[in-house]
């Protein structure tokens, strides 16, 4: 058996009876590893997703059998794309901040601790795990767009042809897109409110003189949207906005910045980012949308080709009994390191003689990676 044994002691040196195999590495992908536990967790998540979609037990089990063979392949795909993203110095911090701000706004939870508890309740995972998983997904999407989609072209003739054949899909409802800056007055006395109003007026003046509104929002707004540069996200249709705010922006042109609007918790400043008129959208307005629709069916085979190329260039080893269904043809990925860590045995006398050297965590070097450091206290 080729097992990786991780030995954990909570006090003195462990005896053989205390030693347990807690995890097994099943694949090595450059500097990362994939464990049996990871794959089992992915399988459970897949099964839960299929059950949520509905269907009989028979159809769920059939779908599970169809998809679970690709679980290792998909995990290798994820790691290769994340590694490539790091190589390309892709940073998704601002994208994550905008996404988090949108979630908080939708949940109407401003307090960070309450929001993190809400995320755990909704997802079943700690907030930091959810954050990392989301950022990893964003990273892989960036790599695919840049390295695959960015190298695929659609001619103007194809765009026009698609537009002419699907005009009914591009009939728009009137809506307005906005950014905001909120200068809060919560908990402030009369002098504080006056100072907040002055600050709001100064920000309006700066924006109208040409300073970039997104940066002003990021640096000065007290709203959750400050993390996303004041972006209020999806468009607002007539009647969606508070009437006081709607009257200030509805008939205004793109780029218009309102005077400070007094609301219950402060002074709100709005900027018109776009005003989409009702009716048939011009082809130029929907060119990017059409490009995505045309490229979408072409993307999957191209992404698969790209992932095959990443595999060809990667250090990749897979244990016997596990199959990468996306393997690069001709590449040898056999597990070549037969090393295993066997459980240690020790006598009572040896334990007694080592009581001065308590070890709280023994880290085991992973074959093919940098030697792990051993953490101990004396």
Using CA atoms, how far apart are residues 306 and 290, in angstroms rounded to an integer? 23
**What pLDDT is recorded for position 174?**
86
Beta-ladder partners of 280: 171
Beta-ladder partners of 184: 266
Cα-Cα-Cα-Cα torsion 256, 262, 263, 264, nearest 10 degrees, comes to: 160
Nearest to 10 by CA among 362, 278, 349, 265: 362
Domain range annotation of the chain: 1-21+343-368, 174-277
pLDDT in tens, 209-251: 999 999 999 999 998 888 788 888 778 888 888 888 899 999 8
**What pLDDT is recorded for position 111?**
82
CB 46 within 8 A of CB 63: no
Beta-ladder partners of 268: 182, 261
Using CA atoms, how far apart are residues 85 and 144, in angstroms rounded to an integer? 9
CB 325 within 8 A of CB 307: no
**What pLDDT is recorded for position 21?**
52
**What pLDDT is recorded for position 318?**
95
CB 168 within 8 A of CB 238: no
**What pLDDT is recorded for position 40?**
92
Residue 366 reports pLDDT greater than 70: no
**What pLDDT is recorded for position 59?**
84
Specify whether domain 174-277 bears CATH 3.10.50.40: yes
How many residues are present in the chain? 378
**What pLDDT is recorded for position 197?**
95
Cα-Cα-Cα-Cα torsion 268, 273, 278, 280, nearest 10 degrees, comes to: -170
pLDDT in tens, 174-189: 889 999 999 999 889 9
Average pLDDT of the chain is 82
Q: What are the tokens at 41?
A: 């967790």
pLDDT in tens, 76-128: 999 999 999 999 999 999 888 888 887 887 787 878 889 999 999 988 889 99
Model pTM greater than 0.85? no
């Amino acid at each position: 058996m080729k097992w990786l044994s991780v030995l954990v002691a909570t006090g003195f040196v462990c005896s053989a009876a205390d030693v347990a195999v807690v995890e097994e590495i099943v694949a090595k992908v450059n500097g990362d590893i994939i464990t049996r536990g990871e794959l089992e967790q992915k399988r459970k998540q897949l099964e839960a997703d299929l059950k949520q979609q509905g269907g009989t037990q028979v159809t769920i089990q059939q779908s599970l059998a169809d998809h679970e063979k690709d679980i290792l392949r998909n995990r290798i795909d994820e790691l290769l794309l994340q590694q490539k993203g790091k190589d390309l110095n892709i940073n998704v911090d601002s994208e994550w901040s905008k996404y988090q701000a949108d979630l908080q706004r939708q949940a109407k939870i401003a307090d960070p601790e309450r929001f993190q508890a809400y995320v755990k309740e909704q997802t079943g995972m700690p907030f930091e795990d959810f954050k990392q998983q989301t950022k990893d997904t964003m990273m892989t999407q960036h790599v695919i767009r840049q390295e695959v989609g960015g190298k695929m072209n659609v001619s103007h003739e194809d765009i026009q042809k698609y537009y002419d054949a699907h005009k009914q899909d591009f009939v728009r409802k009137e809506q307005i897109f906005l950014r905001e800056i909120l200068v809060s007055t919560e908990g402030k006395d009369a002098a504080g409110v006056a100072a907040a109003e002055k600050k709001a007026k100064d920000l309006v003046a700066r924006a109208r003189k040409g300073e970039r509104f997104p940066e002003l929002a990021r640096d000065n707004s007290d709203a959750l949207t400050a993390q996303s540069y004041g972006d209020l996200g999806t468009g607002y249709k007539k009647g969606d906005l508070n009437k006081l705010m709607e009257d200030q922006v509805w008939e205004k042109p793109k780029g218009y910045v309102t005077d400070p609007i007094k609301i219950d918790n402060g002074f709100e400043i709005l900027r018109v980012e776009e005003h989409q008129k009702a009716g048939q959208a011009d082809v130029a307005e929907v060119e990017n949308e059409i490009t995505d629709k045309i490229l979408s069916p072409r993307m999957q085979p191209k992404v698969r080709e790209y992932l095959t190329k990443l595999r060809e260039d990667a250090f990749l080893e897979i244990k016997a009994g596990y199959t990468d269904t996306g393997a690069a043809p001709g590449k040898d990925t056999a597990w070549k390191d037969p090393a295993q860590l066997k459980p240690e045995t020790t006598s009572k006398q040896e334990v007694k003689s080592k009581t001065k050297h308590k070890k709280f965590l023994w880290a085991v070097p992973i074959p093919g990676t940098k030697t792990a450091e051993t953490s101990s206290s004396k």
